[in-house]
Structure 1
Amino acid sequence: MEDFEKKVSIKDSMDIEQENSNCSKSNEILNLLRKFLEIQQRRAQAYSKLKTGFSEYMKSGGELAYQQLCSEITVEFNDCSKQVLEMESLFLNPDYCRVDLAELLRAIQTQEKQKLHLTATIQVLKKAGRPSERLVNHENCSFKKPMEHECVHLQEITEAAGTEEAEANAEYDNALKETIRGVQDAVTAINEHLEEVRYEIAALETELCKDCKKRVRVKGLVDEIIEIVYIIALNRIWTYHGLSHLIRPKDS
């Protein structure tokens, strides 16, 4: 009887230990995905800060403040990328074996890199401005005095020059539109991937909730089974020794 109880107890302990291990891993994965969403929030805040800083730069021309901001944003993005790469590595680890999640994070990283590159390109284009609106550079002027400055910059606008300028403007406009469209495509792709992350989080939360209830239910059933088996075994022992008449049923 004692051996039976010991075997049941050992099996019960092993099952519970395995369930605890599975729950622990699921909980760790859940926490990692939640942390990833926090990192994405940091990225969103950094982009907002960069956009505001660039708008102020375009109005005031404060080059030093803008360069300082760009340096801070670069550090922030690098830190975010570093943490996400560490998460990718963890998901590829045999302890987790979640290649799907590692690939999902990598896909988001790729789009984030593209988004940042295109955002920087947009700012460079806007800083330069349309060719027809750029300030004239007089560095190569042969005239040194203002009153003599009728110079080459005020040449008569010919049809060819006008066409060249129009083509340059069109090329600039197309480049800017294409870059903006690229950012929008990257944002769309990122948001779609983030929905997958949120779906995975919801699934893990549901799984952990079910496992918790199941563990409580199974533990109760195991206790009941052990008690029943114990009573049956005890009855057989007492019957074997001719003592069954001493067994009193439990009060109902």
Structure 2
Amino acid sequence: MQCFGFLKTMMFLFNLIIFLCGVALLAVGIWVSVDGPSFLKIFGPLSSSAFQFVNVGYFLIAAGAVLFALGFLGCYGAHAENKCALMMFFIILLVIFIAEVAAAVVALVYTTLAEQFLKLLIVPVIKSDYGSQSDFTQVWNSTMKGLNCCGFNNYTDFEGSPYYSVNNNTFPAYCCTDNVYANDTAKEICTSQKAQSSAVEGCFDQLLQDIRTNAATVGGVAAGIAVLELAAMIVSMYVYSNVK
């Protein structure tokens, strides 16, 4: 009984933290959706990089909602010794765990497929919105500055974009090597010839390179999260089986 009481208390406290994290993520997600530029100014290149591949606001809202529900079920199930809540907590956590394992396998085995999918998704948006949508343009500029990259693949992604048309068929300054002053103004016009000779790497390749460079850290964090999830599932089933 002492072990049961201890684990029940720990489960309640652990899920209370998850619940509060969910509330925080929901709040940040709503903030990002309403006022994205201020989010970029505070969190810088890392946040702008994420903006390229997901809608950060909606992603944070979805993640916050899941954590909110998970934390609530865990807290309520442990405190009230409610079997239904505990089982729902276990099932949601199991689904998340399986999805994470599947995503890791896809990322390792089908990196090229993922790249092709993102290319089909992102490049057309660059061609239609860069230079006309201020928030989208600011996000890409912050990313290219922070990662020292150009476009998704390279400078050709900007061909046909509003920026390209308005600026006499030239490219963003970041697509030419050492072409940006400290105040983000261009030193000279980035023409097709200069962009080609500069051969600035695409942001997707640069992001992959940064991930590979920090693979040990990323893997360690992922392994730690997986262990916590397994522990939470085991504890929830222990509490579930001991509830009368």
Compute the TM-score of the two structures, normalised by the length of structure 2: 0.29
Compute the TM-score of the two structures, normalised by the length of structure 1: 0.28
Structure of higher RCO (CA pairs closer than 8 Å, 6+ residues apart)? 1
Tell which structure's C-alpha radius of gyration is larger: 1
